[in-house]
Amino acid sequence: MKEDHKSTAASLGLPLQFTQAAAQYATDAWQRALLYADIRRQRGNQYREHLAEEAPNVLNFGADLVMTGLDLPRPVNYGLVRIQPLPDTPEDPGKRPFIVVDPRAGHGPGIGGFKPDSEIGAALKAGHPCYFVGFLPDPIPGQTIEDVMRAEAEFVRKVAELHPQSLGKPAVIGNCQAGWQILMTAAVWPELFGPIIVAGTPLSYWAGSNPMRYGGGLMGGSWMTALTSDMGAGRFDGAWLVQNFENLDPANTLWSKQYQLYAKVDTEGPRYLGFEKYWGGHVFLEGEEMQYIVDNLFIGNRLATAELTTSDGVRIDLRNIRSPIVVFCSYGDNITPPGQALGWITDLYRDEEDIVAHDQTIVFATHDSIGHLGIFVSSSVGRKEHREFAAHIDVIDLLPAGIYRAEVQDRPADVPARDVTDADYLMTIRRSGLAEVRDIVQPDPQSERRFAAAARVSEINLALYRNTWQPWVRALSTPQTARWLQAMQPLRIGYEWWSDAHPLAPAVKALAEQAREQRQPVDEGNPFLQWQEMVSRTVVQWLDGFRDQRDAMQAQMFDAIYGSPLVQAQAGQSRSDQGPARAHPGDSPEHREYMRRELAELHDSVKQGGLYEAILRALVYVLHVRGKADERHFHHFWQVLQQRLAGKTPPDMVGFRHLVRKQALLVQREPQAALAAIPDLLTATPPEDVRWAMDSIRSLAVQGNALTAEELERLDQILGLFSQALPQDSPPASTPSPASSPAPAVKPAASKRAASGTPRKR
């Protein structure tokens, strides 16, 4: 009887528990719906208030206006502000300033300083003076991309003038679209820039796996851009660009972003509103600006092959940049995948010798998973990669010409940190090459021929539009019709339809306040809540499947249209041609003259210099075999030389950088003569300084890792050369040497390996 009673009680309890769970979930779901609606109402209010601001931005730091582009001879809607230093981290007047430039890609400025752990935050925490280049929502009528370039050059020049005591030229960070603008500016005015960091920047639009690259061809080219600008009375609404970004990930746009707010409505509101303030801060571009971008970059891809020129005939060639270029990209970025971020390198350079000949230093770093916006706003990236870039920007500035890969790893327990801000991570920089970059980019000549055909079709269709419909569209478009079309833009409607201006808003606000006071969140084990999560995952999977099929179909359509013999022939391409779609840009007359002078100067400088030059040649020769070094080498190198050679060193980091790069190039191009001249460089050096130099070279060479057999051989060779500068009866250096006896002059085989970088077979 007792067992029957328990069974009956259990059978009665299950429906009761189920009913209770349903009632609790219904209460929780209703309250969450009210709170969700109230947060969305706040989003609408925030959107209206943000657009009403004169200079809307999402900077999380105080700033003071330094210079406005409105006052320039060719005015632009850009401005330069100085970021106020952190209360607990004063600026170091000797450190180079940082300039963060935000993209004008449909959103307002401030993404680089959106959070405390950001690009701006990283620079400030490292003690650097920091500046920010933002923009107003409305462009100046008639402004062009070249006008923006000139303004950015003036901003960099102004920052350099404000910091004459800095050890180096300003370091500039360009985010997304701002990255290519900065590189274009540095290609025309290379003397203004220090190291340049481009984060999530598309530079080679035909490369990579981004589905957006097919859009221009499938729409028939850039005539739609011209039509949109004409209907906007000469202005292009940036909301259309934002909508393109949203279309890339329909699961996030249509479901995940809203569902996460609904599911975590008690805690998610501030983060949601903060991001939506940026994402909904739509700005405008001048029609001519947008047409230039689409024709020459998005569809034409002319920046990556040096096909652009300024109005006064100067070729915009990225190979003219003399500052180190740091490229930071991510495999999780669906807007700028690594192929688009790095493809310009394989477009411009034939081999490593070509890079050295152009005296260019390129450092690239990849992230495994972070998304496009995460590159700028993720706190984890701000605390790791951006902080390491800022902390070691002077190290990057000293790298000789070539391609390098930077990796940021957790700091080993046995490696001491230089300071509190450097305690968590260790940056390692190793020599890379075009082969590794090609493995990432995976150039496809057949694909490039299809994109070349799309570019040609775009030119034809744009010419047809300009000669037929454009005069009529412009005649019928007025500022009033443009404002009406702007108000009807789908994204803008989504932000504006629900706010305090809606007649139901007061009632929803009151109900939400009541729900907040009487909040009864459901337990995580509630079966209805678990069912809700299951439904959400199903929706995301379905939308992701739709996205993948859509993207695959677009790629197939693009290949079928622009890979057809008829279209290929119209574009001047042949399907049987196995060569590249575009000719290599070749060397300009200016570069050939530069290299002639550079080589002549190198030849003349083989026997010029003293102890400083001898040490640099020695270290370059010994460590070249390893192909990589971490921050310990560079900081110890700089610290030791500064302490010992006070008063004898170049006056600033600019001079030091020039000397390091010159000696490295000399060892690479004329290794036998450069090393054989070391005893002559030390002729006037006191014996105690020569012995100190030998000790320092040993100490610097073993920083980080044990020397290999070949590195030991080279070190022995170098110490022998330095010993030749000591008197015959001079005592040996104080520190024991791994090879104590003097070595003969440079061996031809060893010198040849130094030039080629090929490890010796053992």
Instruction: Spell out the alpha helix ranges (H) of 57-200.
Output: 119-125, 145-162, 177-188
Query: Residue 135, SS3?
Result: strand
Q: Mean of the pLDDT values across residues 35-52?
A: 93
If pLDDT is split at 50, 70 and 90, which confidence band does 374 have? Answer: confident
- DSSP state at residue 489: -
Q: Is 683 helix (H, G, I), strand (E, B) or coil?
A: coil
Last residue of a domain, one of 406, 423, 443: 443
> Which is more confidently placed, 28 or 612?
28
The answer to whether residue 230 is domain-embedded is: no
Cα diameter, the chain: 111
The size of the chain, in residues, is: 762
What sign has the CA pseudo-torsion 417, 418, 421, 426?
negative
E strand spans, 591-645:
628-630
**Does the CA dihedral 178-146-189-308 come out positive or negative?**
positive
pLDDT at 750: 35
For the record, the structure tokens of 328 come out as: 């930071």
**Full-model pTM:** 0.86
Strands 196-199 and 325-330: parallel
Give the model's confidence band at 618: pLDDT under 50 very low, under 70 low, under 90 confident, else very high.
Answer: confident
Please indicate, yes or no, if residue 215 is contained in any of the structural domains.
no
What backbone torsions phi and psi does residue 431 show, to the nearest 5 degrees?
-70, 135
Query: Would you say residue 543 lies in a domain?
Result: no
Q: Tell which residue, 341, 312, 333, has the closest CA to residue 202.
A: 341
Supply the mean pLDDT for the chain: 85
Residue 194 in contact with residue 389, Cβ under 8 Å? no
* Domain count of the fold of the chain: 2
Element housing 633 (H / E):
helix 631-644
* pLDDT score at 130: 96
Tokens representing residue 658 in the block: 């020039």
In contact, 695 and 643? CB cutoff 8 Å? no
pLDDT in tens, 201-220: 999 999 888 888 999 999 99
- What residues pair up with 99 in beta bridges, in sequence order? 131, 172
> Up-side HSE of residue 109: CA atoms within 13 Å toward CB?
23
Q: Residue 419 has what pLDDT?
A: 54
More confident residue, 518 or 118: 518
What DSSP assignment string belongs to 525-584? Answer: T-HHHHHHHHHHHHHHHHHHHHHHHHHHHHHHHHHHHHTSHHHHHHTT--TT--S-SS--
Q: Are the C-beta atoms of residues 566 and 457 closer than 8 Å to each other? A: no
Q: Pick from 154, 153, 151: which is nearest to 143 by CA?
A: 151
Q: Are 261 and 330 in contact (CB under 8 A)?
A: no
State the helix-helix crossing angle for 611-623 and 687-701, rounded to 10 degrees: 20
Which two structure tokens, joined as six digits, stand for 366?
């990849």
Q: What pLDDT score was predicted for residue 649?
A: 47
How many other C-beta atoms are found inside a 10 Å radius of the C-beta of residue 655? 12
How confident is the model at residue 349, as a pLDDT? 92
Bridge partner residues of 83 (DSSP): 63
pLDDT of residue 744: 34
pLDDT for residue 705: 64
Whether 137 contacts 56, CB under 8 Å = yes
Q: How sure is the predictor about 417, in pLDDT bands with cuts at 50, 70 and 90?
A: low
Name residue 614's amino acid: A
Whether 75 has a pLDDT exceeding 70, the answer reads yes
The three-point CA angle 671-675-678 to 5° equals: 155
The reply to whether 693 falls in a domain is: yes
> 627-651, pLDDT tens digit by residue?
655 555 555 565 655 555 555 544 4
For residue 136, being part of any structural domain is answered with yes
| pLDDT at 425 > cutoff 90 | no
Q: Which of 407, 424, 443 is the last residue of a domain?
A: 443
Enter the tokens of residue 450.
């299809």
Give the DSSP letter of residue 739. Answer: S
In sign, the C-alpha dihedral spanning 462, 468, 474, 476 is: negative
Q: For residue 665, give the nearest of 360, 317, 325 by alpha carbon.
A: 360
Confidence of residue 748 (pLDDT cuts 50, 70, 90): very low
Least confident of 86-90, 530-534, 700-704, 710-714: 700-704
Instruction: Assess if residue 315 is contained within a domain.
Output: yes
According to DSSP, the β-strands at 284-286 and 235-237 are: antiparallel
Does 192 fall in a domain? yes
Cβ-Cβ contacts under 8 Å for 208 (sequence gap 6 or more)? 336, 337, 338, 339, 340, 341, 343, 441
Q: What is the distance between the alpha carbons of residues 334 and 330, in angstroms, rounded to a whole number?
A: 9
Q: Is the pLDDT of residue 609 over 80?
A: yes
Residue 243: how many other CB atoms lie within 10 Å: 18
Interval 509-565: pLDDT, tens = 999 999 999 999 999 899 999 999 999 999 999 999 999 999 999 999 999 999 888
- Sign, CA dihedral 63-67-69-70, equals positive
Residue 311 sits in a domain whose CATH number is 3.40.50.1820
Which tokens is 717 given?
């060779």
Range of the structural domain that residue 751 is part of: 605-756
Nearest to 522 by CA among 31, 19, 25: 25
Task: Identify whether 372 is part of a domain.
Answer: yes
Confidence band of 336 (pLDDT split at 50, 70, 90): very high
- How far is residue 551's CA from residue 545's CA, in Å, rounded to a whole number? 10
Q: How far apart are CA 374 and CA 176, in angstroms?
A: 12
Helix (H) or strand (E) holding 20: helix 2-52
pLDDT number for residue 137: 93
Residue 374, CA atoms < 13 Å, CB-side half-sphere = 16
The predicted model gives 243-257 an average pLDDT of 93
Q: Which residue among 443, 467, 493 closes a domain?
A: 443
Q: What band does 17 get if pLDDT is binned at 50, 70 and 90?
A: confident
- Say how far apart CA 674 and CA 694 lie, in whole Å: 18
